[in-house]
Amino acid sequence: MAPTPAELTLEIVPQRRVDVIDVAGLVNSRRDGFFEEYEKTVFCSYHTTAGYLEQSLTSRLGHSADAVHAFVRSFTELFPAGAGYRHDQLELRDELSEEQKEVEPRNADSHLTFIGCGLENCVTYLNRPQQPVYFVELDGTNGPDRRRRRTSVIGFTRAETVDQFSLEIPVSDHRIDSINLWGPELGLYDRLHELIRIHGVSKGRIDIALDPRERNAGLTVNEYETLLMRHDLAEVLRNPIRFMAQKGRNMLRDPRAIPDKARDYAKYDLVRVVNEFIDHMGLNESLIERIIDRFLAVPAARFLRMKRGVSLVVNGTEGETPGRIVSGTYQSPIMVQWRKAERQARTVEVTYTRFV
């Protein structure tokens, strides 16, 4: 008989701003034999600048902390810290109180790196008791202070699919767009919780994946904040070479690399200014759109590690049935497109899995 699924929640204190921490070692120190008892484990991060790489990539990196750090570092060089991001101009952040502005980290580069290198808020690993599992931290310090992070692990052996359906997500007619799937106009958050209640899921997972026929789009989980896109993409359009010189290291040493680098900044949080500009000017296949097309000539899925699906953990406290979607304060599933959809909607497939 399969053991009852079990959960541990760990607190992590990073030692440096970019850190790679073996969570498996922390789990073993709390509950020896955890990974021998269960066949699989879900690892869940509650933060938008810290998460996990998929197991297959970690395996290709040889389960080496140094290799994981080197992999992530290649993306931090694309999105350097302190490069004048609008997101980091805290006086413009109306959603923050004056007290919050005093302590809020300037971490736009960490958000972009999280998305760019394919970190995930929730991953499922097949247990290999002797192998490490790395929690990758991109923003572990705020001045002299070290951040405190939380991660949960749920061990299970058997799982069953309890529901599966397709859902259409409305998108704009713009080539480049990002859609907050937790936006109140979609009602998706409440609908997913209603199905948790109907099926009585106490511990499990919800997978949201693009329909296989969907192209030129991806999914991520992060903070849905738009200041960065309204500033930086406008700057790219005005003067791409100057933007690259300011934001990217060593880009001007190899001029042939500039168009490739430019694509990176048009991927996620840099899109609304383009849509607003096109709407305001009444442009269609204009010079502006052709410039954007140039930047996005290679699909984002190639030059960044865009995902076609995201996972959400369902968990209830002891004895709590049904459970609820567990996420951090600023986490939202986000759909990104870099080409127009054939119609103004994209289809996702939603799968409910119960751990039993």
Backbone angles phi, psi at 266, to 5 degrees: -100, 15
Q: What is the percent of the chain where pLDDT is above 70?
A: 75
pTM of the model: 0.81
Residues 30 and 153 placed together within one structural domain of the fold? yes
Q: What is the pLDDT of residue 42?
A: 98
Residues 280 and 187 placed together within one structural domain of the fold? yes
Residues 139 and 171 placed together within one structural domain of the fold? no
Domain total of the chain: 2
Q: Please check whether residue 248 lies inside any domain of the structure.
A: yes
Q: Please check whether residue 227 lies inside any domain of the structure.
A: yes
Over residues 53-93, the pLDDT tens digits come to 999 999 999 999 999 998 898 777 767 788 777 788 788 87
Cα separation, 237 vs 291, in Å, equals: 8
Over residues 17-32, the pLDDT tens digits come to 999 999 999 999 999 9
Q: Please check whether residue 70 lies inside any domain of the structure.
A: yes
Rg (CA), the chain: 21
Residues 287 and 263 placed together within one structural domain of the fold? yes
Residues 218 and 294 placed together within one structural domain of the fold? yes
Range of the domain at 169: 162-303
**Tokens coding 323:** 């459970």
Q: Please check whether residue 37 lies inside any domain of the structure.
A: yes
Instruction: Name the band, by pLDDT with cuts 50, 70 and 90, for residue 246.
Output: low
- The answer to whether residues 181 and 175 touch, using CB atoms and an 8 Å cutoff, is no
CATH number reported for the structural domain that contains residue 118 in this entry: 2.60.120.460
Q: Please check whether residue 208 lies inside any domain of the structure.
A: yes
Q: Please check whether residue 349 lies inside any domain of the structure.
A: no
Cα separation, 45 vs 31, in Å, equals: 19
Residues 247 and 166 placed together within one structural domain of the fold? yes
**Tokens coding 214:** 């969907």
